[in-house]
Structure 1
Amino acid sequence: MKSKILNQGPERTIALIFEKGDDVVSLLEQYARDHALSASRFSAIGALRGAVLGYFDWELKAYERIPVDEQVEVLSLNGDIALDGDEPKVHAHAVLGRRDGSTVGGHLLQATVQPTLEVLLIESPGYLRKTCNRESGLALIDVDA
């Protein structure tokens, strides 16, 4: 993955260019750790050779895994990076386009780039924290934390 700062502020804009074989979620979280990002949002387009999406089952309080074992276009990838405790955590949703024009979407659990993914990341001057929501069992952004 390559990066370039496009704008310094008050909200910093960073271009992240992922390359073939890059794992999207782990590299985003690593970049956030390495650059002390605590409150960011991002959007992206590109293509993947495969992904695992998730659908949150409210009754089970767990994600049902949706494997996508094919080359797909990233039609929409939007998310945020917030602190979960002291660690940055990616929360992203994706809509992926298949060869026949159909789509599949959900919470992005894992994705492998092929050939590229172009991410525009906006870092806010404040920070966001996630806290565990007792009802859902999910770490959700808590603006009062």
Structure 2
Amino acid sequence: MRYSLTDELFALRLTEGEELHASIAKACQEYHCDSAVVLGGLGMVRNVTFGWFTGTEYLTEVHDEIFELSALSGDVSYKDDTLYPHLHMVVNRRDHSVLGGHCLRAVVDHNMEVFLKPVHSIQFRREFDGWFAALAPAKR
């Protein structure tokens, strides 16, 4: 993984076999970036796990295929004292059929570029709201 950060942009280049969520969390932790908006990403992924929250649990669906990453969005916040990348993605197969949703896991196939916007004036954290751990932004 290679990355660079300015006040306005955090650019990551992930390589073969790296796990998307863990890589984002590690880079943010090393640069003391505890709150960010995921602007987008592109590249190739495999072993993608999507989740659908029922209100009590995530129903998961694992796709052990290679996909092109078509869209990536989300945020980075604190959840239970741990950096938590909350990601949604759209991926496409070779025939251009697509899958998308809440991404719980994805492994980089070949390479991926991810772009984040660090947030300095607000701290993102997650608090249980009676249903799930929802985003609770607070001024610093």
State the TM-score, normalizing by the size of structure 2: 0.90
1:142 paired to 2:136? yes
Q: Within 1, Cα distance between the matches of 2:80 and 2:113?
A: 28
Query: What is the aligned counterpart of 2:41 among 44, 53, 63?
Result: 44
Which whole-Å CA distance do the structure 1 matches of 2:46 and 2:66 have between them? 4
Distance of 2:129 and 2:138 partners within structure 1: 13
Distance 1:89 1:117 in 2: 19
Q: Give CA-to-partner distance per residue, 1:23-64, whole Å, 9 cap, x none.
A: 111111122222221210112111112211111123xx2111
**Residue 72, structure 1, aligned to residue 67, structure 2:** yes
CA, structure 1 residues 46+133, in 2 after alignment: closer, same or farther (shift >3 Å)?
same
On the 8 A contact 1:52/1:68 being kept in 2, the answer is: yes
Q: Which residue of 2 aligns with 1:56?
A: 53
Q: Which amino acid aligns with 1:139?
A: A
Unaligned runs of 5+ in 1: none
What is the CA-CA distance between 1:68 and the residue it aligns to?
1.1
What TM-score results when the alignment is normalised by the length of structure 1?
A: 0.87
The match for 2:3 is: 3
| Matching residue's letter, 1:132 | F
Q: When the two structures are aligned, how many residues end up with a matched partner?
A: 137
Cα distance in 1 for partners of 2:62, 2:109 equals: 16
Alpha-carbon RMSD across the aligned residues, in angstroms, is 1.5
- 3-state secondary structure, aligned to 1:70: strand
The equivalent position to 1:125 in structure 2, one of 98, 115, 120, is 120
Find the partner of 1:32 among 28, 32, 42: 28
Unaligned runs of 5+ in 2: none
Amino acid at match of 2:135: I
- Please state how far the C-alpha of 1:144 moved relative to its aligned partner: 4.8
Is the Cα–Cα contact under 8 Å of residues 124 and 138 in structure 2 kept in the other structure? no
* Residues in 1 aligned to 2:58 and 2:80: alpha-carbon distance in whole angstroms: 21
